[in-house]
Amino acid sequence: MKNLKHIAALALGLAASTGFPAGAPAAETYPDITLSGLVEIETAVVDNGDEIQDDISLATVELGLAARMNPWLQADLIMLYEEDDTPDPTVDRGTLTFLLPQTPFRLTAGRMTVPFGLFSSLMVSDPPTLELGETKRQTVLEAGYAEQGFSGSFSVYRGDVQRNEDKRINSLAATASYSYETETSFMHIAAGWTNNLSDSDTLQESFEDGRCTELTGGATVGFEAEFDKWLINAEYLGALERLADGESAGTRPEAFNLEAGRTVKENLVAGARYAWGNDLWIERQYGAVISYYFEPAAISAEIMRNDLENSDDETVFTLQLAAEF
């Protein structure tokens, strides 16, 4: 989990901005090019009561490039490697954003994660809301708006899960949010809707050949807030109706995630999670994390208890070293 931004924000008393991107400020010269990167190394021990498994992995390598070509055009590229999930380096994001001068509107086209869900987290492990609702690496056309704390977007794309024999641009997603920030506090409220939650990375695996008789919509609402030395975030994400087809037909998947964190001393942050899932692989999840931030890196130790739906429960201890530039 790419949690370095929140660790740094708490440890240094800063507010982490999570609003929709409206493009970088106008540069004095063009092109204005920014390089970024993230490396995460993890060691994990899993105990399910019957056996213990452990591993060391290069969990994430991410390289990004943002190029502001002129006052109205920006290109973004992110290459991603994940030892367990994405063993072959791939283009995680490749987009062009057209910024309408002197207006709060923008138009983004290209490969990206579908804008849907807040997925804020202090922990090393991903929240169940992300595992249920994230749809990665789709070619999307997104119209966006951002001004005075208010932001929104509307996206269309051709999903991998299609109705019957259709081969259409059939998937929609919409988001709306409001952010408020001062020198010592930050608040962000967000909501989202999609007509095709069945196309999420998790749910689409249950459809043979990506075919269904009816698309299943989904919705999410969440918030995060920072004040003094505290951070709290919560999100609900779920299907709006029961799935009509596939291996999960008749189920209505949903998830909830709640986290709280506090700076216990300079550069040291402690956090905790309580989460649950319905008609998911996980029924309940709870755990704690402690992270030490030393710019530009962080080391985190997490213990997480997973109450699983169809198998033995497990306790997972994870140690992560992460650095970004």
Question: What does the pLDDT read at residue 310?
Answer: 77
Beta-strand pair 297-308/314-324 = antiparallel
Provide the phi-psi class of 212: left if phi over 0, else alpha when psi is between -120 and 50, else beta.
beta
Instruction: Determine which of 46-50, 74-78, 155-159 has the lowest per-residue pLDDT on average.
Output: 46-50
- The answer to whether 224 and 233 are in contact (CB under 8 A) is yes
84 lies in some domain:
no
283 lies in some domain:
yes
104 lies in some domain:
yes
Question: What does the pLDDT read at residue 3?
Answer: 55
Quick check: 27 pLDDT over 60? no
* DSSP calls for 35-69: EEEEEEEEEEEEE-SS-EEEEEEEEEEEEEEEEEE
55 burial via Cβ count (<10 Å: 0-12, 13-18, 19+): exposed
Question: What does the pLDDT read at residue 258?
Answer: 99
**Alpha carbons 252 and 307: distance in angstroms, whole number:** 19
Cα distances from 243 to residues 16, 73, 88, 177, 225, in angstroms, run 36, 40, 32, 28, 33
Q: b/e per residue, 39-53, with b = 16+ CB within 10 A?
A: bbbbebebeeeeeee
- The answer to whether 161 and 170 are in contact (CB under 8 A) is no
215 lies in some domain:
yes
**Average predicted confidence (pLDDT) for the chain:** 91
Average pLDDT over residues 8-37: 59
Instruction: Determine which of 24-38, 43-57, 281-295 has the lowest per-residue pLDDT on average.
Output: 24-38
Residue 196: which CATH number? 2.40.160.10
CB atoms within 10 A of CB 160: 18
Question: What does the pLDDT read at residue 120?
Answer: 95
118 lies in some domain:
yes
76 lies in some domain:
no
Domain that holds residue 171: 4-14+46-56+95-324
211 lies in some domain:
yes
Domain count, the chain: 1
Share of the chain above pLDDT 70, in %: 91
Give the model confidence (pLDDT) of 273-289 as tens digits: 999 999 999 999 999 99
Question: What does the pLDDT read at residue 15?
Answer: 36
286 φ/ψ angles, rounded to the nearest 5 degrees: -150, 145
Give the model confidence (pLDDT) of 75-124 as tens digits: 999 999 999 888 899 999 999 999 988 899 999 999 999 999 999 999 99
